[in-house]
Amino acid sequence: MKILAIHAMTGASPEFIEREREIFARYAPPDMTVDIYKIPRGSQSIESHFDEYLGSIEVFKAVKDAEKKGYDGIIITCFANACVEPAREITHLPVIGSGMATMSVANLLGHNFGLILAKESSSYRHKEWAAKLGMAHKLVTIQRCDFSVLGLIQDPEATKRSFLEAARRAVDAGADVIFPGCFGLIGMADAVRDELPVPVVDPAGAALGVIETMVRLKVGQSKLAYPYPPEKRRDYDTGYEAPKQADGAPGCCF
């Protein structure tokens, strides 16, 4: 099983990519290979819809390239699921964002959940996704930490202390389950799990577990929900070509 993890931003350092590779390896089954791709052009980090859209064409190219190279599934690492919906439209491969996966797993573990954000991250995009997933009422609290998205691994101990303080506030606010609202905080769940009275969901583990399940079940996003875009002139090279279907049917995922 081959999975491609796409960074829809340009700011991930070589050190973070290597750490990400190690954390994916913790969760991957023996028959799974996870490759990591960082887009060459876009925003350094994603903290707005504007940041997301700047790198979208590069994400779409990576998705179509993944088809050609025989990947079985795609993870978009951004916790706010950057470009996930259009990416799902242009491929038959199952596509998941780490935020979608994390909220879905958290929903199985308690009656509600709390989200921990970096200090400058925008929360409205996470609220939007909770609503899209039918879980707006489950997101009972959002707590902020005293660190920045681009500086998450510069001082791991300070980051851990700040995360713990925010997580405890979330528990006090009624959260049954906790998760970081940034893919930069992968690995934090393992670091704090024994110090909190509630489950902590790791975005890397959740995304890998969900995409593995989709691939093994041979299912992906519905082409009724995410139909292929129609054939027409488009002035950007994304690698997408509308599939030819004689009967006009939307097609299946596999």
Q: In CATH terms, are 2-98+206-216 and 100-202 the same topology?
A: yes
Classified as helix, coil or strand, 114 is strand
- Whole-number pLDDT of residue 154: 66
| Of residues 90, 135, 120, 43, the one with CA closest to residue 253 | 90
- Whole-number pLDDT of residue 118: 78
Q: Helices (DSSP H) in 31-141: which residue ranges?
A: 49-54, 56-68, 84-89, 98-107, 124-132
Task: Note down pLDDT in tens along the chain; length 254 residues.
Answer: 999 999 999 988 898 899 999 999 999 999 999 999 999 999 998 888 999 999 999 999 999 999 999 999 999 999 999 999 999 999 999 999 999 999 999 999 999 999 998 766 678 889 999 999 999 999 999 998 876 555 555 677 888 889 999 999 999 999 999 999 989 889 999 999 999 999 999 999 999 999 999 999 999 999 999 999 998 888 888 888 888 754 444 444 33
Domain borders along the chain are 2-98+206-216, 100-202
Residues in CB range of 145: below 8 A, 6 or more apart: 116, 117, 118, 119, 159, 162, 163, 165, 166
Class of domain 100-202: alpha beta
Element (H, E) at 159: helix 156-172
- Whole-number pLDDT of residue 153: 58
Question: Contact 65/31 with Cβ under 8 angstroms?
Answer: no
What single-letter amino acid sits at 47? Answer: E
Which residue in this structure is represented by tokens 């920045």?
Answer: 148
Q: What is the DSSP letter of 32?
A: -
CA distance 150 to 247: 49
Question: Contact 59/39 with Cβ under 8 angstroms?
Answer: yes
**Could you tell me which residues are beta bridge partners of residue 178?**
114, 200
| CATH annotation of 2-98+206-216 | 3.40.50.12500
Question: Contact 147/198 with Cβ under 8 angstroms?
Answer: no
- Whole-number pLDDT of residue 250: 45
- Whole-number pLDDT of residue 249: 45
- What phi and psi, each to the nearest 5 degrees, are found at residue 114? -120, 145
Q: Is the pTM of this model over 0.75?
A: yes
Element (H, E) at 16: helix 14-27
